[in-house]
Amino acid sequence: MKIIYEDKDLLVVDKPAGLETTEMIEILSKEKPGLEKIHRLDKDTSGVNLIAKSPEALIFFQKQFKNREIEKKYTALVAGNIKDDSGRIETLIGRAPKEKKKQKAYLPFGPKSEGKRDAITDYRVLERYGSYTLLEVSPKTGRKHQIRCHMVYLGHPIIGDKMYGFKGQSCPKGLNRQFLHASSIKVRMPDNNYKEFKSDLAEDLKEVIENL
């Protein structure tokens, strides 16, 4: 696991795919005790992951997530050719009926809107590859599986996503997981200066793009 940044308050890790955030913290805690999860990435999502090094730091950074002050950007490869070069998805998100592990997008003010939480995701096209589109995705809220759920709602699920992908969906050669990478996070530090932490696209995802 590559350490992107570290000081007395914060540890920023380039999380590999195939590892839960909590599992990663357990491994790191053997040499760096007292680590706390600020936010999580899905198991098969790689990229920038913030970890607090003290209870005070945990409260400080989690408050920014709660207040939607964090700027996050992801790189995603989705199915199909998205019509618009950029856009915003605004829905409610809640648990999918009869599927406890899965989330679903709901229309605001619809008959099933009660108890659901608002979710906003911006996106812009980086590149088009015929039957695939490469996106920069910026979630403005932090709902579980938000990007994956919103891409399905848009009709363009993330390539390689076994939970949310369409049945029979094509997949580029060599891709063994969902094509979703946390490429950058911008936060306010305890000294009130802002820092942006970046992660290059993971090697397996780079190879997929090169082949396309």
User: What DSSP letter does each residue of the chain carry, written as one string?
Assistant: -EEEEE-SSEEEEEEPTTS-HHHHHHHHHTTSTT-EESS---TT-EEEEEEESSHHHHHHHHHHHHTT--EEEEEEEEES--SSSEEEEEEEEEEETTEEEEEEEE-TTSTT-TT-EEEEEEEEEEEEETTEEEEEEEESS--TTHHHHHHHHHT-PBTT-TTTSPTT----TT--S--EEEEEEEEE-TTS-EEEEE-PPPHHHHHHHHH-
* Architecture per CATH, 2-70+187-200: 2-Layer Sandwich (3.30)
Q: Which two tokens stand for residue 112?
A: 């099933």
Q: Residue 112: what pLDDT?
A: 66
- Is 7 a residue of the active site? no
pLDDT tens digits, residue range 148-204?
999 999 999 999 999 998 888 888 988 999 999 999 999 999 999 999 999 999 999
- In sequence order, the β-bridge partners of residue 94 are 104
pLDDT tens digits, residue range 81-104?
999 999 999 999 998 888 888 999
pLDDT tens digits, residue range 8-23?
999 999 999 999 999 9
Give residue limits of the domains in the chain.
Answer: 2-70+187-200
pLDDT tens digits, residue range 46-90?
999 999 999 999 999 999 999 999 999 999 999 999 999 999 999
Are the C-beta atoms of residues 91 and 108 closer than 8 Å to each other? yes
Q: Residue 110: what pLDDT?
A: 66
Q: Which two tokens stand for residue 8?
A: 């007395």
Q: Which of 7, 9, 14, 42 is catalytic?
A: 42
CB atoms within 10 A of CB 199: 21
Dihedral of alpha carbons 5, 59, 101, 28, sign: positive
